Amino acid sequence: MLRCMKYLLIAAVLFLAACSASQRSASALPQVSPATIESVEPAELGDPAASPDEGNDEAQPSYGDRLVVRLQDGRTVFLVYTGPRHFHAGQVVRMHVTDSAIFIL
């Protein structure tokens, strides 16, 4: 009987731990917001460390996409995307938005 009570107590503690972990992860969900891409334009990326007087002709320019994204709550996000995905105006995406980071999921 004592052995059954011990297993029941362990199961109850594990269940409560799982419930409290799911409540913490639910608070992270509002940081992911549905969004719609409003416009996509090519953008040449410069080297911010290079001096404009140097005139480095041998460096190959790199390009990215300048995205204007409207979040579901009405906010607008401007970002330059340099990854492998291709976006188009009207595409629905999910955005992770915090005070320190913004990225497309």
For residue 65, how many other CB atoms are within 10 A of its CB? 19
Rounded Cα distance between 86 and 65, Å, is 9
pLDDT in tens, the chain (105 residues): 666 666 667 777 777 777 665 554 444 445 788 999 999 999 888 766 666 666 555 667 788 899 999 999 898 988 888 888 999 999 999 998 887 888 888
Mark out the alpha helices in the chain (DSSP H runs): 2-28
Domain boundaries, the chain: 2-47+59-104
Write down the pLDDT at residue 61: 72
